[in-house]
A and B are shown apart, each in its own frame.
Chain A
Amino acid sequence: AQSVSQHNHHVILSEAASLELGCNYSYGGTVNLFWYVQYPGQHLQLLLKYFSGDPLVKGIKGFEAEFIKSKFSFNLRKPSVQWSDTAEYFCAVNQVNRDDKIIFGKGTRLHILP
């Protein structure tokens, strides 16, 4: 069965530190990949997405992610985090040409110290 693994459940960083959140998926076919963010008390919002083309995708608020097909990975990065990045981050995948459901990872709770 298709699955999404997020390696870190809880990450604590100081402001200005660099961030990388790991994500791996299990499906071997063509996939669409997403990172969603859930700020405290708010709904899930799309940070960035990969459908095709350049494997390095840029999203909102300075986030980027790199799709590495050979590693089945889609890691999220940000060079310098801010206190306002404190949130929960979800990696998600959809199997192209199979169905429209999106499978989510369990999430990574990011806490930025001011």
Chain B
Amino acid sequence: DAGVTQSPTHLIKTRGQQVTLRCSPKSGHDTVSWYQQALGQGPQFIFQYYEEEERQRGNFPDRFSGHQFPNYSSELNVNALLLGDSALYLCASSHGTLEAFFGQGTRLTVV
């Protein structure tokens, strides 16, 4: 049973570019949450998707958007990248109990 998988594992982008990160939830999970973890910080909640809709959103600008597909997988899109967007982006999946399972993350570097 695969856990939460994220792709790519590493990514380097230039300021102003756009990026799409992908997440496949653990089998049986229907809720996907995205977090940003800057160096030396704890994960910061970006948003959560359930039934293909954004259910919760943290304090992130509209440049951060997402999508959930019918198979529960999800994408995180970031437009107009800034140097400060460099971070580890974590995807977590859950079903009902709030016990979230995390993927390995995508390390995004903006240069």
A residues at B contact (CB < 8 Å):
4, 6, 32, 36, 42-46, 49, 90, 92, 94, 99-107
Q: Could you write out 25 A-B pairs with CB less than 8 Å apart?
A: A4-B42, A6-B42, A32-B98, A36-B102, A42-B104, A43-B3, A43-B102, A43-B103, A44-B43, A44-B90, A90-B42, A94-B98, A99-B56, A100-B33, A100-B56, A100-B94, A100-B98, A101-B33, A101-B56, A102-B33, A102-B45, A102-B92, A106-B42, A107-B40, A107-B42
Complex formed: what's the CA distance from A51 to B40 in Å?
Answer: 28
In this assembly, does B74 line the interface, its C-beta being within 8 Å of a C-beta of chain A? no
In this assembly, does B31 line the interface, its C-beta being within 8 Å of a C-beta of chain A? yes
Chain B contact residue count (CB 8 A cutoff):
26
In the assembled complex, how far is the CB of residue A58 from the closest CB belonging to chain B, in whole angstroms? 16
- With a 10 A CB-CB cut-off, give which of B33, B98, B105 has the most chain A CB atoms: B98
Query: Given the interface contacts A106-B41, A106-B42, does A101 sit within 8 Å of B102 by beta carbon?
Result: no
Contacts of B58 in A (CB 8 A): 101
In this assembly, does B68 line the interface, its C-beta being within 8 Å of a C-beta of chain A? no
Contacts of A32 in B (CB 8 A): 98
- A43 and B41 form a contact (CB under 8 A): no
Main secondary structure of the interface of A (DSSP, over half): strand
Complex formed: what's the CA distance from A30 to B43 in Å?
Answer: 22
- A104 and B56 form a contact (CB under 8 A): no
In this assembly, does B63 line the interface, its C-beta being within 8 Å of a C-beta of chain A? no
With CB as the reference atom, state the residue of chain A lying closest to B59: A1
In the assembled complex, how far is the CB of residue A89 from the closest CB belonging to chain B, in whole angstroms? 10
Question: Which of B44, B45, B99, B105 is the one whose CB lies under 8 Å from A43?
Answer: B105
Contacts of A43 in B (CB 8 A): 3-4, 90, 102-105
Question: Which of B3, B100, B104 is the one whose CB lies under 8 Å from A102?
Answer: B100
Complex formed: what's the CA distance from A110 to B90 in Å?
Answer: 21
